[in-house]
Structure 1
């Protein structure tokens, strides 16, 4: 891929705007990024069959999971990706430029 990010901003707390070297701009939600996390754990969860609902046991959410989803940090990895840390504690995703390029919508 010849295009690379030249600007990252959050015009709203739940959105990330990426400006690319070729002039394209893409706006994606933080939720969309989290749902498309490419780490092995997330890929495994996406491919797993749905778990049956057990009304006798409820999932207990921690404080971070009760808050709106946010990006805590984005660290560049070489010249090909960013490691993204989310407010729910998840920080294993390596978002390649190719993946970031297709998330969200052109603006």
Structure 2
């Protein structure tokens, strides 16, 4: 059975890659923008909806203390497995582009 949310959307993919290190919301938005060379700008509402969804599926976790002002998130072990799965899937697509005819020769 295929894990939920796969394949990841571009935005969720970038958020999870950003969360390989602990970050709070605004820092996630900045890093995603930087990683995408300014092509992906996430609005706060979109970001927090995506974070809630990723958290619900245990791909990321909240690591800050409940009383702290900023919520800090980080990718989980399951999230790293999901990223590895996506990496393999995307590498397959790249090989199809590079081979031009869809073969793996």
The TM-score, its normalising length taken from structure 2, stands at 0.28
Structure having the higher helix fraction is: 2
Structure having the higher strand fraction is: 1
The TM-score, its normalising length taken from structure 1, stands at 0.28
